[in-house]
Chains A and B, each alone.
Chain A
Amino acid sequence: MVTHDSGAGHHHAPTGFIRKYIFSLDHKVIGIQYFFLALFSVFFGMTLSLLMRIHLVWPTAKMPFTPGGQMTPEQYLALVTMHGSIMVFMVLTTAPQSGFGNYFLPIQIGAEDMAFPVLNMLSFWTTFVSLLVLLSAFLVTGGAPISGWTAYPTLSALGEITGPGQGLGQTMWVIGLAIFCVASLLGALNFITTTLDLRTKGMTLGRMPLTVWAWLITAILGLLAFGVLLAACILLLLDRVAGTSFFIPGGLVVTDTPITWHKGGSPLLWQHLFWFFGHPEVYIAILPGMGVASHVLSNFSRKPVFGYRAMVAAMSAIGFLGFCVWGHHMFVSGMSPYSAFAFSLMTMTIGVPSAIKTFNWLGTLWGGKIQFRVAMLFALGFVSLFVTGGLSGLFLAQPSLDLYLHDTYFVVAHFHLIMGVAAIFGIFSATYFWFPKMFGRMMNETIGKIHFWFTFIGVYCIFMPMHFLGLAGHPRRYSDTSGVNFLAPLHSVHYFITMAAMVTITAQLIFLFNLFYSMFAGEKASENPWHATTLEWSIPSPPPFDNFAGHVPSVYRGPYEFSVPGSTDDYIPQHLIPEKVAKAH
């Protein structure tokens, strides 16, 4: 292995508990910090959804945390709002990108750390603060907001008068989000700079693992999108506390009280700004998972990724087109129907690169030698879930069908399958795959398989029936089904979903147990337990503080050289010099 010295003695290992684990500059520690932030958030968010599901089926049940016993509609809606906000921002935007990306991007490209370690540390702690501010909404007077993670004005802009939680709670939500935007922008900057400028010798763009491509494209999306959300949050905050009217028109009357101190604003302006951010955001949530899926499928099929270049092109197309489709969230919003037509065509188009990726995943498996490690099971599950979730998008992309399906459970099914499950499977796959490298120990495969099966079956049981609720016309964000007659025949479906949710959520404790138990008592991991090709598998598990112990490798080939004809081993690591590659005779 040819290496070059990184310059002896300049990069020092940190000492002291605070420097090593709290205010660490090490991308690996920061990655783990993000991972644990996301882990906390996902369990918190799941608990909120569990309470929601229980309430829907047993509305009179006495709930914890609800003074007075029974859950009120506003408490339900506060759960809806915070569940969405925490999951989208604190789980799906952190773990796949800031978590695994932070840990593995530098290593996979042969760098000793991110370009700007101090900035990296600041990004994490700013994210942490934003989480605290967001969660504080639960604790302030009036409680958490009830306007959904989408916070449409005028409900979100007029204040307490529109409902409980719309006072201080909504303000804390907006501030928390704004802080999160800043943190994300800083992180995106670091990721892009690192990928562009810190690649080691021989690591051309065309030899980068697809995980790196995914992190790069995701970071670009983040850089372009979060500034827009930040602007929107500032405008909303001003409407709420400074008496401006960006989003609030005149002539409003709330519960017999005329609102005379606002006029001329447009609620649609918020929607445009929010969704211009919001649509790229969902691609931010899924792209890293796609990168991981490609990576893991290739590794455990012992075959190169089918159509590497097409995969890169597809991810780039998804990223680019992601900025052109935001109006599909607004077909019935009152937006011009002509622009709806345009957005619809763009949205149908964005289905094409997604389809290409799916074909290529199947192509990667085809003719392979498939090994069913847990990481692979989750990657395979990812493909199935992505297909299912993606196809329902074809319905929603058509405004004529959206006339019926908008704001029904059909939409809830769609985005949960894609984000709430496929993206999560990407995270699980990444966890099982990279755990040995991060913690120097193996996770238990048997327990992992049990976790997989409960989860895979469970999520389909939870979210497939929601399509049918949607087809029956069941609107979203209803705290109760007693207000509308046509919902009565759907009670049995709700019951089934709640049962499935209870089992599936409980089963996640299996994962939690496996994770923590293995960290301390798992079988010790070798350098390359998966016989993988990329650079992280050329260093000890866990890696030394500067990743390559002063000897940064050069790269001689692409990232997916599996089962190359003429080679003895069924994999050739990227860093192996050509002379050292054993040839079969």
Chain B
Amino acid sequence: MPETLTPDLEIIEAGHGGGGDVPAGGDDDGGDSGSGLPGIPQRAYYTAIQLALVGIVMFFMALTSSFLVRKGLGDDWVAFALPRVLWFNSLVLLASSVTIEVARRYRHEGAVAAFRRWWAFTAALGALFVAGQLVAWRDLASQGVFLATNPSSSFFYLLTALHALHLSGGILALCYVAFRRWQRSRITQSIAADLAAIYWHFMDGLWLFLFALLYLGR
């Protein structure tokens, strides 16, 4: 749940269940939802994003335990130096968490132009991160370290690729939040931005965890 409860939430929330319609669209008009779908309480969206994160956590936890088991198994785990660009990429991603927060708060205040600017920064930083990961892979490949070279490299490529894939999904979500017509939706753009931000912060946190795992476990 975002800590900054805004006026939007109070206007829209129709109370406990009861099928109360959730008027969406622009912040101010509180009018008719053109979505064609039955209204649901807004908190359902927050529930959903949290559940999605639970599912993703289980997925990465399975991979993490596999990592630990595989590492502990044999003597064929060869440590290799992680590409230096990963540190830069981590900073980029951390910065993007900051920019997304800034953007989100602007959106809640109604400062649409500022929101769009900072939202775009975030997407750009996200794309930069993914590009940076590609650089890291190229770096390793040029040293002859590939997916199947060694179990430690297998996990490196696998974990970073899966994270990058999920993050790319996040970038697509950012675009969706920016470009979709929210008048026809059951939620406002503010709420959508909140949900995307939750996911984004989680991806950041997940990266820090994976990076630590790969670094300490290399």
Say yes or no: A266 contacts B73, CB within 8 Å: yes
- Contacts A193-B47, A234-B158, A243-B147; A185 near B19 (Cβ below 8 A): no
| Binary flags per residue of B143-172, CB closer than 8 Å to A gives 1, else 0 | 000011001001000100010000000000
Nearest-Cβ distance from residue B45 to partner chain A, whole angstroms: 8
Instruction: Verify if A245 is at the interface (C-beta below 8 Å from B).
Output: yes
Q: Does B55 contact A (CB under 8 A)?
A: yes
CB distance from B152 to the nearest CB of A (A): 10
A4 CA to B19 CA, complexed, in Å: 8
Query: Given the complex, which residues of A lie within 8 Å of B47, measured CB to CB?
Result: 192-193, 196-197
Within 8 A of A (CB), among B47-78: 47-48, 51-52, 54-63, 66, 69-70, 73-74, 76-77
- A157 CB, nearest partner CB in chain B, Å: 13
How far apart sit A554 and B77, CA to CA, in the bound complex (Å)? Answer: 61
Question: Which of A9, A192, A246 has its CB near the most chain B CB atoms (within 10 A)?
Answer: A246
The residues in A between 485 and 500 inclusive whose CB is less than 8 angstroms from any CB of B are: none
Contact A242 B147 (CB under 8 A): yes
Tell me how far the C-beta of B149 lies from the nearest C-beta in chain A, rounded to whole angstroms: 9
The reply to whether the CB of B43 lies closer than 8 angstroms to some CB of chain A is: yes
Query: Cα distance A205–B173 when bound, in Å?
Result: 33
A111 to B38, CA, bound (A): 9
Contact partners of A224 in chain B: CB under 8 A: 54-55, 58
Give Cα A260–Cα B147 distance, bound, in whole angstroms.
Answer: 17
- CB <8 Å contact, A263 and B76: yes
Cα of A189 to Cα of B55 in the assembled complex, Å: 9
In the bound complex, CA of A12 to CA of B184 (Å): 13
Contact of B38 among A112, A192, A272, A276 (CB under 8 A): A112
* Residues of chain A with a CB closer than 8 A to B73's CB: 264-266
For residue A245, which residues in chain B have a CB less than 8 angstroms away from its CB? Answer: 148, 151, 154
Q: Is the CB of B58 within 8 A of A223?
A: yes
A10: chain B residues within 8 A (beta carbon): 21, 32-33, 35-39
CB–CB A4/B33 < 8 A: no
CA distance A242 to B161 in the complex (A): 14
Indicate which residue in B18, B44, B62 contacts A228 across the interface (CB closer than 8 Å).
Answer: B62
B70 in contact with A223 (CB, 8 Å):
no
Whether B66 lies near A269 (C-beta < 8 A) is: yes
- Decide yes or no whether B126 CB sits under 8 A from chain A: no
A244 touches B66 (CB 8 A): no
Decide if B20 touches A7 in the complex (CB within 8 Å). Answer: yes
Bound state CA distance, A223 and B158, in angstroms? 22
Q: Is B2 an interface residue (CB 8 A)?
A: no
Inter-subunit contact A269/B58 (CB<8 Å): no
- Interface membership of B192, Cβ < 8 A: no
The answer to whether A197 and B41 touch (CB under 8 A), given A230-B59, A263-B76, is yes
Residue among A111, A113, A265 making CB contact with B70, cutoff 8 Å:
A265
A residues near B43, Cβ cutoff 8 Å: 197
Q: Is B177 an interface residue (CB 8 A)?
A: no
Q: Tell me if A132 is interfacial: C-beta within 8 Å of chain B.
A: no
Contacting A at CB under 8 A, from B22-48, are 32-33, 35-41, 43-44, 47-48
Interface size counted on chain B using CB atoms at 8 A: 44
B16 close to A (CB within 8 Å) = yes
Is B17's beta carbon under 8 Å from chain A? yes
Contact with B along A219-255 (1 / 0, CB 8 A): 0000111111011101100100011111001100000
Whether B158 and A12, one on each chain, are in contact in the complex, defined by CB atoms closer than 8 angstroms, is no
Q: Decide: A198 near B44, CB < 8 A? Known: A112-B19, A227-B58, A231-B62.
A: yes
Contact B76 A198 (CB under 8 A): no
Tell me whether A201 and B17 are in contact (CB under 8 A): yes
Is the Cβ of A193 less than 8 Å from the Cβ of B51?
Answer: yes
- A199 at the B interface (CB under 8 A): yes
Q: In the complex the two chains form, is A199's CB within 8 Å of B62's CB?
A: no
Asked if A462 lies at the interface with its beta carbon under 8 angstroms from chain B, I say no
Q: Answer whether residue A273 sits at the interface, using C-beta atoms and an 8 A cutoff.
A: yes
Task: With A110-B17, A244-B147 as known contacts, state yes or no: A197 contacts B58, CB within 8 Å.
Answer: no
Q: Which residues from B are CB-within-8-Å of A244? A: 147-148, 151, 154
Chain B nearest CB, measured from A201 CB (Å): 5
Q: Are B33 and A198 in contact (CB under 8 A)?
A: no
Q: Mark A87-120, 1 if CB is under 8 A from B, else 0.
A: 0000000000000000000000011110111100
- Interchain CB contact under 8 A, B18 and A546: no
**How long is the Cα–Cα vector from A1 to B51 in the complex, in angstroms?**
34
With both chains docked as a complex, state the minimum distance between the C-beta of B120 and any C-beta of chain A, in angstroms: 26
Question: Interface 1/0s, chain A 34-76, versus B by CB < 8 A?
Answer: 0000000000000000000000000000000000000000000
From B16, B56, B58, B70, A246 is in contact (CB under 8 Å) with B70
* B38 shortest CB reach to chain A, Å: 4
B 169-199 binary contact with A (CB < 8 Å = 1; else 0): 0000000000000000000000000000000
15 A-B pairs within 8 Å (CB atoms) are namely: A4-B20, A7-B21, A189-B51, A192-B51, A200-B17, A200-B19, A224-B54, A230-B62, A234-B162, A235-B158, A242-B148, A243-B148, A266-B73, A272-B69, A552-B18
Q: A7-B21, A228-B62 are in contact. List 11 more A-B contacts (CB 8 A).
A: A10-B21, A10-B33, A10-B38, A11-B36, A11-B39, A111-B40, A188-B55, A189-B48, A201-B16, A264-B70, A552-B19
7 shortest A-B CB distances, which residue pairs? Answer: A7-B21, A243-B148, A227-B59, A231-B62, A227-B58, A112-B38, A6-B19
A interface residues, Cβ below 8 angstroms from B = 4, 6-7, 9-12, 25, 110-113, 115-118, 185, 188-190, 192-194, 196-201, 203, 223-228, 230-232, 234-235, 238, 242-246, 249-250, 263-266, 269, 272-273, 276, 546, 548, 552, 554
